[in-house]
Structure 1
Amino acid sequence: MYDRKLEQRASVSIIEDLKTVSWKVEPSTAAKNTRNFIREIVDNLDLKPNPDKSVIALSIGDPTIYGNLKAAAETIEAVRASLEQGLFNGYLPSTGHQDAKQAVAEYLSHNGSEINANDVILCSGCSSSLEHCITVLADGAKNHNILIPRPGFPIYRTLAEHIGVEARYYNLIPENNWEVDLHHLESQIDGNTAAIVLNNPSNPCGSNFSEEHLRNVLEIAYNNRIPVIADEIYENIVFPGEKFVSTASLNSGVPILICGGLAKRFLVPGWRLGWIVVHDEFGVFDEVRKSLNALSQRTIGSNTLIQGALPAILKNTPKSFYEFLNNTLARNAQVAFEKIQNAKGLTPFMPQGTMYMLVEIRMEKFPMFENGLAFAQKMMEEESVFCLPGECFAISGFLRIVITVPEDVINEACLRISEFCNRYYTM
Structure 2
Amino acid sequence: MLDNKLKEQNNLTIIEDKPEVWKVEPSTTAKNCRNFIRDIVDNLDLKPNPEKPVIALSLGDPTIYGNLTPSEETIQAIVSILEEGSCNGYAPSVGYENARAAVAEYLSHDGVNINTKDVILCSGCSSSLEHCITVLADGVKNHNILIPRPGFPIYRTLAEAIGVSVRYYNLIPENNWEADLHHLESQIDQNTTAIVLNNPSNPCGSVFSEDHLRNILEIAYRYKIPIIADEIYERLVFSGEKFVSTASLNSGVPILICGGLAKRFLVPGWRLGWIVVYDEIGAFENIRNALICLSQRTIGSNTLIQGALPSILQNTPQSFHDELINTLSKHAQLAYEGLQNAKGLSPFMPQGTMYMIVEIQMQKFPLFHSGLEFAQKMMEEESVFCLPGDCFAISGFMRIVLTIPEELLQEACVRIAEFCNRHYVN
> Match for residue 232 of structure 2?
233
CA distance in 2, matches of 1:185, 1:92: 40
Distance 1:30 1:112 in 2: 41
**How far apart, CA to CA, are the structure 1 residues paired with 2:126 and 2:15?**
45
C-alpha contact (below 8 Å) 1:59/1:400 kept by paired residues: yes
Equivalences for residues 324-343 of structure 1 within 5 A:
324-343=323-342
**2:239 partner SS:** coil
The Cα of 1:25 is off from its aligned counterpart by: 1.3
Partner of 1:384: 383
| 1:226-257 residue CA offsets vs partner (Å, 9 max, x unmatched) | 00000000000000111100001110000000
Post-superposition CA distance 1:329-362 (Å, at most 9, x none): 0000000001101100000000000000000000
**Residues 273 and 306, structure 1, Cα contact 8 Å, conserved in 2:** yes
Q: CA deviation at 1:10?
A: 7.2
Paired position in structure 1 for 2:305: 306
Equivalent residue runs for 1:125-140 within 5 Å: 125-140=124-139
Q: In structure 2, how many angstroms separate the alpha carbons of the residues matched to 1:320 and 1:381?
A: 41
Q: CA deviation at 1:113?
A: 1.1
In the alignment, the residues of structure 1 paired with residue 230 and residue 21 of structure 2 have an alpha-carbon distance, to the nearest angstrom, of: 47
The one-letter code sitting in structure 2 at the alignment partner of 1:411 is: Q
Give the Cα separation in 1 of the matches to 2:41 and 2:379: 12
Cα distance in 2 for residues equivalent to 1:167 and 1:307: 33
Aligned counterpart, 1:16: 17
Q: Distance between the aligned counterparts of 1:210 and 1:15, measured in 2? A: 74
Q: Distance in 2 between matches of 1:194 and 1:367?
A: 42
Tell me what 2:223 maps to: 224
Partner of 1:186: 185
Residues 15 and 350 from structure 1, CA distance in 2 versus in 1: closer, same or farther, beyond 3 angstroms? farther
Structure 1 residue 92, shift from structure 2 partner: 0.6
Give 1:24 deviation, angstroms: 3.1
Instruction: Name the residue aligned to 1:35.
Output: 34
Amino acid at match of 1:228: I
Secondary structure of the corresponding residue to residue 233 of structure 1: coil
Q: Secondary structure at the match of 1:396?
A: coil
Partner Cα separation in structure 2 for residue 367 and residue 382 of structure 1: 17
Q: Aligned runs of 1:155-234 on 2, under 5 Å?
A: 155-234=154-233
Query: Which residue matches 2:407?
Result: 408
Q: Distance in 2 between matches of 1:204 and 1:151?
A: 7
What's the CA shift for 1:22?
4.2
Q: Following TM superposition, by how much is the alpha carbon of 1:278 offset from its aligned partner in structure 2, in angstroms? A: 0.2
Separation of aligned partners in 2, 1:30 and 1:143: 15
Cα separation, 1, equivalents of 2:367 and 2:263: 38
Matched residue, 1:66: 65
| Structure 2 spans left out of the alignment, 5+ residues | 4-10
Match of 1:320 in 2: 319
State the alpha-carbon separation in 2 of the partners of residues 93 and 175 from structure 1.
47
Q: State the SS of the aligned residue for 2:372.
A: helix
Normalised by the size of structure 1, how large is the TM-score? 0.97
Counterparts of 1:27 and 1:84 in 2: how far apart (Å)? 43
Match of 1:76 in 2: 75
Cα deviation digits, residues 115-154 of structure 1 (max 9, x gap): 0000000000000000000000000000000000000000
Q: How many Å apart are 1:17 and its aligned residue?
A: 4.3
CA distance in 1, matches of 2:77, 2:240: 31
Contact 1:112/1:250, CA 8 A, preserved across alignment: no
Distance 1:130 1:333 in 2: 28
3-state secondary structure, aligned to 2:95: coil
Structure 2 residue matching 1:237: 3-state secondary structure: coil
Query: Structure 1 pair 14/337, CA: closer, same or farther in 2 (3 Å)?
Result: farther
Q: Which amino acid aligns with 1:136?
A: V
Calculate the TM-score normalised by the size of structure 2. Answer: 0.97
**Corresponding residue of 1:89:** 88
Deviation track 1:19-65 (CA, whole Å, cap 9, x = no partner) reads xx342311100000000000000000011100100000000100001
SS in 2 for 1:399: strand
Distance 2:136 2:28 in 1: 20
CA contact (8 A) 1:145 1:195 kept: yes
CA offsets 1:143-199 (integer angstroms, 9 cap, x no match): 000000000000000000000000110000000000000000000000000100000
Match of residue 288 from structure 1: 287
Match of 1:396 in 2: 395
Partners of 1:180 and 1:288 in 2: how far apart? 27
Q: Deviations over 1:258-294 (max 9, x none)?
A: 0000000000000000000000001100000000000
Counterpart amino acid of 1:273?
Answer: L
Asked if the contact 1:345–1:361 (Cα under 8 Å) also holds between the matched residues in 2, the reply is yes
One-letter amino acid of the structure 2 residue matched with residue 274 of structure 1: G
Distance in 2 of aligned mates of 1:413 and 1:15: 64
The answer to whether the Cα contact below 8 Å between 1:151 and 1:172 also exists between their aligned partners in 2 is yes
Q: For residue 97 of structure 1, what is the amino acid of its counterpart?
A: Y
Cα distance 1:250–1:23, how it changes in 2: closer, same or farther (>3 A)?
Answer: same
The one-letter amino acid paired with 1:46 is D
Identity of aligned residues (%): 75
Q: CA RMSD in A?
A: 1.4
Letter in 1 for 2:207: N
Matches of 1:40 and 1:214, distance apart in 2: 33
Distance 1:87 1:397, change over 3 A: same
| Number of matched pairs | 419
Query: Secondary structure of 2:17's match?
Result: helix
Matched, 1:267 2:258: no
Amino acid at match of 1:98: E
Q: CA–CA distance in 2 between the matches of 1:202 and 1:107?
A: 21
Runs of 4+ off more than 4 Å: none
For structure 1, which runs of at least 5 residues remain unmatched after alignment? 2-8
The question of whether the paired residues in 2 share the 8 Å contact of 1:350 and 1:357 is answered with yes
Q: Check if 1:104 corresponds to 2:103.
A: yes
Number of the residue aligned with 2:275? 276
2:8 maps to none
* SS of the residue 1:423 aligns to: helix
CA distance in 1 between counterparts of 2:16 and 2:267 reads 51
